[in-house]
Structure 1
């Protein structure tokens, strides 16, 4: 399977759809409604408030979640190919995303982190293109607006503001004007939200401020969750080794893109601390950088059998998690 997705052929788009359906089809047989958490922010709560009176069947939420995950996989795969994160175009990032997101059932729920993750992929792409933009002002402002929307979906996502500022530091020479434009963009959604709340006579500061607490994440209470974490971490470490070993062969902008992914992962791990919840929904925000390093592992290992063995181990366990747990 890894050999098939290592090729860049248009038929792989359809094959990815079948691959994802095999992994996640049981979600359609046992559908769950949208996930709601105390950390959800105004936009997501408003969206759920709009959808609930419609009495939408849970299976439709599952369908939307699957399409979002499938779309995320294709979008991130295109970003990896455009930015040349791997030496040759392929569909390994898309395959890895559908596979890794099947290791936790919670990652397949319709949730605020799932919606935020979709926006964050696009934000990451815009950040990687910053060095090549002659007039970066509009792009930097757009990134700020999008990250502001992300924080209005999920309160702990406020830590991604630091990622955007670090991206400006890594990708661009320091210019105070650009940083000011970015901060203005980040606060813009809050201006509009405050205006709407004020005009509708429903002003409440608590609806705007991104409150969260720092606490240690819950220790996995199930051996199955522990195995899922191991199957995320071990391929990630192998992929990280191969990325590090091949850094000298990469162009400067590719190295920066990988560095940005690592910063992305660090910020997402801070989300886990900021959330401190008892479930794994918020861990979804780690999926994209982990996916990239998993794809690197499948690509760089010289042996033909080893990537295949690792893939089928993870695939088999993902099937077990989704169909028998």
Structure 2
């Protein structure tokens, strides 16, 4: 399977769709409830849920939308990896790895605020990687700020990603105070509109705006299955990280910076796990995108033909067992 996705052919989109359906089809057979709601959800997500609830949408439609969103995210991130040449040759390994890693936790396959936030974060990552090549970056920097503002209004702990954007400006661009001010203006823009809507609707409440969260250590995995899932995320990530580090001297400067951004992306996402992430693994989904890139690097760089295939089928087999037998 890794050999198939190592090629860049248009037919791989269909193969990826079938691959994803095999992994997640039990969700369609046993749809469990509607969208997830947590104390960390912010105004935009709560507002969206308040619109959807009166419609009494069948749970299977939420499952369908979640699958299509995950599939779209996989294709979008795969295209970004190919455009930015994160791997030496274009392929579909990032998309495959994304569909596979998002099958390792049941919470990652439900409609949730982190799921929606991931779509924006993938696009934000792409815009950040293109900053060095833009002659007039003001519009792009402002757009990145607006999107980060939207992400924080979907999920409160995502305010940590504001630091990621500022670090990206520091890495990708020469320091210009004007650009940083433009970015901060973009971040606050969604809050201006939200404050205006609340004020004009006579619903003003400061607690609806401020991204309050607390810092606490993540819960120790309560299930052996969660421990195995975490292990199957971490081990391929470490292997992929080793190969990326070994090949840095062969990469263009902008590719090295993109990998550095992915590592910073992962660090910020891990901080969110401690930012009032609760006892479940919903917030952990924000780690899926950067981890996926390193998983794809593992499948690509390992010289042996059998080893990546064995690693893939071990993870795939466990994901099938988790989704069809355990039925989280």
Q: TM-score with structure 2 length normalisation?
A: 0.99
Tell me the residue number matched to 1:182.
Answer: 183
Tell me the residue number matched to 1:72.
Answer: 73
Question: Counterpart of 1:26 in 2: which secondary structure?
Answer: helix
With 245-254 and 271-280 compared, the bigger mean Cα shift is at 271-280
Q: Is the 8 A contact 2:269 2:284 kept in 1?
A: yes
1:98-247 equivalences under 5 Å are 98-247=99-248
Note the C-alpha offset of 1:276: 3.4
Tell me the residue number matched to 1:91.
Answer: 92
Note the C-alpha offset of 1:137: 0.1
Take 2:225 and 2:26, find their aligned partners in 1: how far apart are those partners? Answer: 18
Question: Counterpart of 1:214 in 2: which secondary structure?
Answer: coil
Tell me the residue number matched to 2:16.
Answer: 16
Describe the superposition over 1:199-234 as per-residue Cα deviations: whole angstroms up to 9, x where unpaired: 000000000000000000110000000000000000
Take 1:116 and 1:110, find their aligned partners in 2: how far apart are those partners? Answer: 11
Q: Is the 8 A contact 1:92 1:298 kept in 2?
A: yes
Structure 2's unaligned 5+ residue stretches are: none
1:30-45 equivalences under 5 Å are 30-32=30-32, 33-45=34-46
Take 1:30 and 1:38, find their aligned partners in 2: how far apart are those partners? Answer: 26
Tell me the residue number matched to 1:285.
Answer: 286
Take 1:253 and 1:106, find their aligned partners in 2: how far apart are those partners? Answer: 34
Q: Is the 8 A contact 2:98 2:289 kept in 1?
A: yes
RMSD: 0.4
Take 2:220 and 2:123, find their aligned partners in 1: how far apart are those partners? Answer: 32
Q: Is the 8 A contact 1:76 1:121 kept in 2?
A: yes
Describe the superposition over 1:167-189 as per-residue Cα deviations: whole angstroms up to 9, x where unpaired: 00000000000000000000000
Take 1:30 and 1:12, find their aligned partners in 2: how far apart are those partners? Answer: 28
Take 2:45 and 2:325, find their aligned partners in 1: how far apart are those partners? Answer: 31
Query: In the alignment, does 2:270 pair up with 1:304?
Result: no
Take 1:162 and 1:286, find their aligned partners in 2: how far apart are those partners? Answer: 16
Note the C-alpha offset of 1:30: 1.1
With 289-298 and 30-39 compared, the bigger mean Cα shift is at 30-39
Structure 1's unaligned 5+ residue stretches are: none
1:26-65 equivalences under 5 Å are 26-32=26-32, 33-65=34-66
Tell me the residue number matched to 2:259.
Answer: 258
Note the C-alpha offset of 1:324: 1.1
Tell me the residue number matched to 1:25.
Answer: 25
Question: Counterpart of 1:275 in 2: which secondary structure?
Answer: coil
Q: Is the 8 A contact 2:152 2:211 kept in 1?
A: yes
Question: Counterpart of 2:31 in 1: which secondary structure?
Answer: coil
Note the C-alpha offset of 1:275: 2.3
Q: Is the 8 A contact 1:218 1:276 kept in 2?
A: no
Q: Is the 8 A contact 1:97 1:287 kept in 2?
A: yes
Q: Is the 8 A contact 2:2 2:93 kept in 1?
A: yes
Take 1:310 and 1:195, find their aligned partners in 2: how far apart are those partners? Answer: 52
Q: Is the 8 A contact 1:275 1:282 kept in 2?
A: no
Note the C-alpha offset of 1:3: 0.2
Q: Is the 8 A contact 1:102 1:318 kept in 2?
A: yes
